[in-house]
Amino acid sequence: MSPARRQAWLLAAVAAVASLLRVVMLAHSGGWHSAIEYDDGVHYGSSALLLHGVVPYRDYAFLQPPGITWLLMPCAVVGRLLGDASGLVVARLATIVVAGATTLLLGRLVAKSSSPQRGLVAAAFYAVAAPALVAGRTAMLEPWLDLFLVIAYDRLARPSPKSRDALIGGAALGLAVTVKAWGLVAALVLIGWLLVRHRRALAARASLAAAGAAATVCLPFFVLAPGRMVTDVITTQLSRPADGTQDTFARWAQLIAVRPLFAHPYVPAALAAFALAGCAIAALRRGPLGALMLAQFVAGLAMFAVSPPYFFHYGDYLIMPAAVLVALALPALVPLGRLTRVRKSLAWVAVWIVAMGGVVQLGAAWTQGQAATVNVARLTALVREARCVVSDQMVLIELANATGRTCHPWVDPRGTALSELPARVPATFYPYGFRGLTKFQRQWRAQLAASTAVILTGPPCRRADWTPLLCHQFENDFRYAGSAGRASPALLPVQVWRRFDPRVDPRDLHSNDAGWLGV
C-alpha cells in the first residue's frame, strides 16, 4: 500500500472513531431519545415548523442565523413522515457524521500543509477534545460551523488557489456565518490574513462569494421580517445577560478540561498560556497555516473573554485552531541532522504528553454526560389526543411527536424573553430575572390559556421563571397526568399536565379521561 493511501485510511479511521465517540457520548447522556440540551430542540424545531408554514423571526423569536434551519430541513422531512422524535434522531446522527467529516478534512488540511504525522495528530486532537465531543453528540451549531470553516481554510490557504477555490472557500465562509454569528469573526480573520499576505484579488473574490452565500440563506427570512431578524440575531445577542461560566480564567481552564486537577482555575489557565506560547512559536515556523490558526485562536479567546454567556460546548469553536497549532508544533518523529537521538526522544515525549491530554479530555467529556432519557412511547401517549401542547423545552414537544398540532409551539421561551429584555439588565439576571419581565409572563399565560397539555421539566411552582400569580393560574387550570423520564438541566423529571374540567367529579379521573379537556 502506498504511503498516500495508507495516510488516507488512517485519517478515515480517526474520523470514524470521532463519530463513534460522539455516539458513545450520546448513549452515556441518555441515548437518541434524550433531553440533554435546550438548544438542539430549538434548532431542529425551526426546520420542523417551517414545513408547517411557521417562519422564524416573523412568527417567533429565533436568536441564531437561519443556516441551521436549512441544514436540518431533510431531517425535518423525515420527522414529518415518521414523527419528530425520529426526525430529531436523524438530526443528531447528521451532526455526528458532520463531526467525523470535519475530523477527516482537518487532518487532510494539516497533512497537506506540513506532514502526514501532524495531520493525524490534528485529527486525533479534534476527535477527543471534550468541548467538541459535547457539542458533536447532538444537533448543536458548532460542528456545522467547524465543517464550513475547515472547508474555507482548505480552499483559501492553498499555496496557489484557483478561481474555483475562491468560490468554494468563500461560499463556505458565508455559510459559516449563517450557522452562527461567531463565523463572522473567523471570516474577518481569514480575509485579513489574505490581505496581509497580499492576496487582495483572492480576498475580494472570496468576500463576494461569502456575501452571496450568506444572502441566499438569509434573504428569504429577512424579507419577511427584517426588523425582527436584526433584533433576534444581532441586538439580542449583543445585549445578553451574564450566564454560565463567568470568570475568564475559569472559561479557559474549562476549555482545556483540566480544572479538576487543580485547586484554582488560574493554574491550568497559566499552564495553557505557557503551552500555547510554545506551540505558537513552533507553529509559526511551519508555514502560513500556523499564523492563520494562531490569529483565529487568539481572536476566539478574546471573544470568549468578553462574551456575557459561556457554556462548555462553546469551546468547540477554539478546538480546531488549537488542534492545528498543537500538531504543527510537534517535532518530526524521524528528524534529520545532528543530535538525532535526542530530538527523536523529545518528539516522542511531546506525543505522549498530547496523548495524556487526550485522556484528560475524554474524562472531562464523560463527566458532562447525564442520563437524561425520555420515554417517548409514554410521553406520546400522555399527549396523544391533546389539541395544543406547550413546553418549556422544544425538544420535549418533538419527542412527544406533537410539533404539528393545531397550535404553534413556543419554540424558544428563554430566547423570547431575552429578545424582550429592557435596555439595562442586572448582572445577576439569572435565575429570577424572568419574573420581572412583564411580556415574558404575559406570553406564558397566553400559552397556558391556549394549551390542553403542558410538558414541564420539574414541578411547576418551583420554577425560577414563574411568578406566584402564574403558578396560581396553572394550579387552577391543570392537573398532573404523569411523568416520562428526566431532562437536563439537573435531570429534572419530565412531567405532563393536562387541562382540568371542573364539571367532572374528581373521583372519575382514575377510571377515565373524562376530566381532561382536549383528550
**CA–CA dist 358, 319 (Å, integer):** 12
Task: Inform me whether the pLDDT recorded for 146 exceeds 80.
Answer: yes
Residue range 365-390, pLDDT digits in tens: 888 877 889 999 999 999 988 889 99
pTM of the complete model = 0.91
Rg (CA), the chain: 25
Q: How confident is the model at residue 280 (pLDDT cuts 50, 70, 90)?
A: confident
Give me 38's grid cell.
Answer: 435546550
| Mean pLDDT in residue range 339-353 | 64
How is the chain split among helix, strand and coil, in percent rounded to 5? 65, 5, 30
Is residue 495 within 8 Å of residue 455, measured between CB atoms? Answer: yes
* pLDDT score, position 281: 77
Mean pLDDT lowest among 70-79, 233-242, 266-275, 314-323: 266-275
On the question of pLDDT at 90 being above 50, the answer is yes
Which has the closest alpha carbon to 320: 101, 466, 114?
101
pLDDT digits (tens, 9 = 90+) for 404-456: 777 877 899 988 888 888 767 777 788 888 888 888 999 999 999 989 999 99
pLDDT confidence band for 195 (50 / 70 / 90): very high
Q: Is the distance from CB of 103 to CB of 18 less than 8 angstroms?
A: yes
d(CA 497, CA 60): 24
Give the closest residue to 122 by CA, choosing from 103, 99, 135. 103
pLDDT at 255: 75
How many degrees, rounded to 5, is the angle at CA 518 between CA 510 and CA 509?
Answer: 10
Which set of grid coordinates corresponds to residue 469? 400569580
Beta bridge partners, 486, equal 493
pLDDT at position 259: 54
**Angstrom distance (rounded) from CA 100 to CA 94:** 10
Is the pLDDT confidence value at 182 over 80? yes
Distance CA 401, CA 396 (A): 9
CB < 8 Å & 24+ apart, contacts of 198-202: 202/156, 202/161, 202/166
CA distances from 164 to 65, 158, 167 (A): 26, 12, 5
Q: Is the dihedral of CA 90, 91, 97, 101 positive or negative?
A: positive
Looking at residue 514, what is its pLDDT? 37
**Band (505; pLDDT cuts 50, 70, 90):** very low
Cβ count within 10 A of residue 203: 21
Instruction: Give the pLDDT score at 409.
Output: 76
Pick from 28-42, 250-264, 336-350, 490-504: least confident: 336-350
Q: How far is CA 420 from the centre of its chain?
A: 23
Residue-by-residue DSSP string for 479-499: EEEEEEEEETTTTEEEEEEEE
Closest by CA to 493, choosing from 516, 517, 462, is: 462
The mean pLDDT value of the chain amounts to 87
pLDDT digits (tens, 9 = 90+) for 110-128: 999 988 989 999 999 999 9
Query: Which one-letter DSSP state was computed for residue 234?
Result: I
| 100/301: higher pLDDT | 100
User: If you average pLDDT over residues 249-255, what whole number do you get?
Assistant: 77
- The pLDDT score that the predictor gives to residue 125 is 92
The pLDDT-based confidence of 503 (bands split at 50, 70, 90) is low
Q: How far apart are CA 116 and CA 60, in angstroms?
A: 48
Q: Three cell numbers at 31?
A: 441515548
Residue 240: pLDDT above 90? Answer: no
Is residue 492 within 8 Å of 486, Cβ to Cβ?
A: yes
Percentage with pLDDT > 70 across the chain: 88
3-state secondary structure of 324: helix
